[in-house]
């Protein structure tokens, strides 16, 4: 027997649920079971069926809330077949136009059945607010108060932060709309007006906006992933990046010791108006090792690169004792014990270099040499 899983409307959208299941029945899919986000359908002959939602009274417990057997019995004797239920939402079905009485003819009394759902909606809103607050707090703590880290993330994956904000925003907006919508329904029904089953186009538009914005962000991330290439660290074939060979280290390429054995490589990722080169290279000569880690950015303008230089300095892993240095061919450079940052035109780079030397002075000299080679490479017209 063919089965189909399909996402269903939210619990608060009672009219939407009823229309959705009736529409599926017209297309030959009969509701079998309802989950948290998806409903399971079974293939049957298309039929005109009317669905009605009955809300159980919340017992205060999480999970399934069953309708009393005597209530189901009464409804079934009136011609409504019990289909399935999950949480507070239970569904009944009757052939369309068969004359079965509506489940309720007194809106004021039916309004009371919304109370459990309203209580759940309020709890969800509180949960969404707390979740968002905790997330924002963790993000702030992770920054260690450094906005520079967020700038780097925004550069490397520009839509990641907006995507997170869209997800948080849609969660909060959805929870808030649920509370407002159910409250409006309840007040309307207490005044004697029947349940409003009309489509909520306003909310659908807002929801569509969230989806569209999220899709754009995801599309960009997919574009980035698809456009990412991995290169071997070979001189002359890695764009603006350095390789250890250029610095006189000609040992054998080896795997990274601390990153689950990943191979030495240079990954090129497209950015908005530029590219990001992320390299990691280790070469072994006998018992000694030289390693080079670098992030090189080709940006849309020299101004962007000039602004990035200090940010790379601030976020450097070994950024202590960084001093400004003069290097021919570079617009700006700083050099520390193990790390250096350089800017030239629309390019900016952060280099971490560890070579087998005797002392810190030699290590620093190796970094200065790397900056010189980098400047020559960036200024080479070929």
Binding residues for other proteins, rule: CB under 8 A, are 54, 69-71, 73-75, 77-78, 80, 101-106, 109-110, 112-113
Nearest distance, CB of residue 14 and other proteins, angstroms: 13
> What's the min distance (Å) between Cβ of 15 and other proteins?
16
Nearest distance in Å: CB 6, other proteins:
27
Q: Cβ(55)–Cβ(116) under 8 Å?
A: yes
d(CA 221, CA 160) in angstroms, rounded, equals 8
Closer residue to other proteins, CB minimum distance, 78 or 126: 78
Nearer to other proteins, 52 or 364 (CB): 52
Q: Which is nearer to other proteins, 21 or 75 (CB)?
A: 75
Nearest distance from C-beta of residue 92 to other proteins, angstroms:
9
Give the nearest distance from C-beta 28 to other proteins in angstroms.
29
Pick the closer one to other proteins by CB: 107 or 319. Answer: 107
Q: How far is the CB of 113 from other proteins (least distance, A)?
A: 8
CA distance 243 to 223: 27
Per-residue 3-state assignment (H helix, E strand, C coil) for the chain? CCEEEEECCCCCCHHHHHHHHHHHHHCCEEEEEECCCEEEEEECCCCCEEEEEEECCCCCCCCCCCCCHHHHHHHHHCCCEEEEEECCEEEEEEECCCCCCCCCCCHHHHHHCCHHHHHHHHHHHHHHHHHHHHHHHHHHHHHCCCHHHHHHHHHHCCCHHHHHHHHHHHHHHHHHHHHHHHHHHHHHHHCCCCCCCCCCHHHHHHHHHHHHHHHHHHHHHHHHHHHCEEECCCCCCCCCCCCHHHHCCCCEEECCCCCCCCCCEEEEEEECCEEEEEEEEEEEECCEEEEEEEEEEECCCHHHHHHHHHHHHHCCCCCCCCEECCCCCCCEEEECCCEEEEEECCEEEEEEEECCCCCHHHHHHHHHHHHHHHHHHHHCCC
Nearer to other proteins, 60 or 145 (CB): 60
Which CB, 77 or 252, lies closer to other proteins?
A: 77
Q: Please give the Cα distance from 197 to 210 (Å, whole number).
A: 24
CB 248 within 8 A of CB 284: no
In whole angstroms, the minimum distance from the beta carbon of 117 to other proteins comes to 15
- Residue 73 vs 237, nearer CB to other proteins: 73
Closer residue to other proteins, CB minimum distance, 41 or 80: 80
Closest distance to other proteins from the beta carbon of 223 (Å):
52
Nearer to other proteins, 113 or 181 (CB): 113
Q: How far is the CB of 75 from other proteins (least distance, A)?
A: 5
């Amino acid at each position: 027997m063919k089965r189909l899983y399909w996402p269903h409307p939210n619990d608060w959208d009672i009219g939407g649920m009823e229309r959705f299941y009736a529409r599926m029945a017209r297309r030959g899919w009969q509701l079998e079971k309802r989950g948290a986000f998806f409903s399971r359908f079974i293939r049957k002959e298309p039929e005109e069926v009317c669905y009605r939602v009955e809300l159980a009274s919340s017992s205060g417990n999480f999970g399934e809330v069953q309708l009393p057997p005597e209530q189901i019995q009464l409804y079934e004797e009136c011609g409504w077949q019990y289909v399935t239920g999950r949480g507070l939402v239970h569904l009944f079905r009757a052939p369309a136009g068969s004359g079965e009485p509506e489940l309720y003819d007194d809106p004021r009394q039916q309004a009371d059945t919304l109370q459990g759902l309203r209580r759940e909606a309020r709890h969800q809103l509180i949960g969404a607010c707390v979740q968002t607050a905790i997330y924002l707090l963790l993000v702030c703590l992770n920054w260690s108060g450094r906005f520079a880290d967020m700038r780097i993330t925004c550069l490397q994956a520009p839509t990641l932060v907006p995507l997170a904000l869209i997800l948080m925003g849609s969660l909060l907006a959805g929870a808030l709309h649920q509370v407002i919508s159910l409250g409006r329904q309840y007040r309307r029904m207490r005044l004697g007006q029947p349940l409003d089953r009309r489509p909520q186009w306003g909310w659908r538009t807002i929801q569509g906006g969230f989806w569209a914005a999220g899709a754009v962000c995801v599309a960009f991330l997919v574009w980035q992933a698809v456009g990412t290439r991995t290169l071997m660290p070979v001189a002359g074939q890695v764009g603006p990046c350095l390789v250890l060979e250029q610095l006189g280290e000609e040992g054998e390429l080896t795997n990274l010791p601390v990153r689950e054995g990943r191979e030495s490589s240079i990954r090129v990722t497209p950015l908005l108006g530029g590219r990001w080169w992320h390299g990691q290279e280790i070469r072994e000569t006998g018992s000694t090792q030289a390693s080079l880690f670098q992030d090189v950015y080709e940006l849309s303008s020299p101004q962007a690169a000039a602004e990035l230089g200090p940010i790379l300095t601030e976020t450097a892993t070994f950024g202590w004792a960084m001093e400004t240095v003069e290097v021919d061919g570079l617009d700006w450079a700083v050099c520390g014990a193990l790390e250096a940052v350089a800017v030239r035109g629309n390019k900016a780079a952060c280099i971490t270099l560890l070579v087998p030397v005797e002392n810190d002075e030699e290590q620093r000299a190796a970094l200065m040499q790397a900056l010189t080679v980098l400047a020559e490479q960036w200024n080479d017209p070929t």
